[in-house]
Amino acid sequence: MSSAVDVIRTKRDGGTLSDEQIRWFLDSYTNGDVADEQASALLMAIVWRGLSPAELATWTQTMIDSGVRLDLSGVGRPTVDKHSTGGVGDKVSLPLVPLVAACGAAVPQLSGRGLGHTGGTLDKLESIKGWRADLSADEVRKQLATVGCVVCAAGDDLAPADRKLYALRDVTATVESIPLIASSIMSKKIAEGTEALVLDVKVGAGAFLPNIDDARRLAETMVEIGTRAGVRTSALLTDMEYPLGRAAGNALEVAESLDVLRGGGPTDLLEVTLALADEMLRLAGLTADPREALVDGRALQVWNEFVRAQGGDPDAPLPVAEHQVVVRASKSGYMQNLNARSVGVAAWRLGAGRARKEDPVSATAGVICLAKPGDYVSEGEPVLELHADDKARFADAEAALVGSFAIGDAEPEPRPAIHARIS
């Protein structure tokens, strides 16, 4: 029989935890038999000492086994999902999920809410009149079989060990650990029952891991976890130096996603969406071309069916903020850069994001990037448009944008939307 102190000491001193120690500790913590302070001590030891691939596989599997694993074997289509590590203007899931479903896959996306400068998929979709995020497992299976896709909140019985550990990591400065990040993401994704998974790991100023080497290590770690668990897994490293697309904010991002589904939308958003769609369909063993599903309207049709299936009205107008102000160019020239994190913080301060999980969010608040790096702007031309329902929020948002972009004479070199593929 293990003891919490023995497990903590082993990892503190750089030792390797046995499968039995990991399972005992996580099960005991989830059941309330190990105290928060002991779990905090082990988490900090892992931050410093890491986990071997074998330890990480057992750690992740134990978190999966702490709850239920959805059985999607009866949906009648190959199942594949996508997970993003989060960014600014990252609304890719909104056009991507119905697009891949229109190509013959079933996409079971269990999503989360925004925190800080990064937006949450559920917050975005809840700006649609009537749309609901909470579905039962039976509703998920039925919708996958009929519509081909679902986006909803994870149930309380999905990887409860991760939910408890995540809350503890948030208040003990133990979030920044690649093994802990990877196991947290992958335990939930594997528990949702998908056969294949594509990871969208963001790189750049607006990303959780701005450094490309760190992002690559996280991607490689998650791909290894998924593969060991029998889930066909790959990853794309995608750019988050600048906001993705032009809109950052809940209803604003839904509107931009609809532009993509109607065959338009910003080129960077379209490029990332199609790259992920290609990868998802490849892992699912399907040969359909997602570009054709955009052109012929099938993706938009699936979007409408998906929204209706979850109680929403796809024909209802999206809410619009009461007030808008613009940030203007101080001189003429080419936009040299646009810091994604600064734009995300501004959108958050306007009301689009939350500081704590229980905070409300505004459906209408956000930022529209009227100009992006590489665009030529004239002195006095609006560069950013800020949206809010409360005028008092503009001052703090504008403060976040000071120094967020530069204008120069030379046209900047474009950044790649896709940095690498990892499988």
For residue 162, indicate whether it is catalytic.
yes
Q: Which of 81, 90, 162, 239 is catalytic?
A: 162
Residue type, 231: V
Can you tell me the distance from the alpha carbon of 368 to that of 378, in angstroms, rounded to the nearest whole number?
18
Please confirm, yes or no, whether 184 is among the known catalytic residues: yes
- As a whole number of angstroms, the distance between CA 321 and CA 390 comes to 9
Q: What is the CA radius of gyration of the chain?
A: 22
The encoded tokens of residue 293 equal: 């599903």
200 is catalytic: no
Q: How far apart are the first and last CA of the chain?
A: 38
Annotation says 323 is catalytic? no
3-class DSSP state of 328? strand
Is residue 189 among the annotated active site residues? no
Question: Of 49, 77, 169, 232, which residue is the catalytic one?
Answer: 169
Q: Check 84, 127, 184, 342 and give the catalytic one.
A: 184
Tokens of 382: 């609006």
Catalytic residue, chosen from 83, 141, 246, 354, is 83
Angstrom distance (rounded) from CA 281 to CA 104 = 9
Which entry of 188, 298, 341, 393 is annotated as an active-site residue? Answer: 188
Of 196, 182, 175, 183, which Cα lies nearest the Cα of 80? Answer: 196
> Can you tell me the distance from the alpha carbon of 353 to that of 126, in angstroms, rounded to the nearest whole number?
13
Segment (H or E) for 56: helix 53-65
The catalytic residues are 83, 162, 169, 184, 188
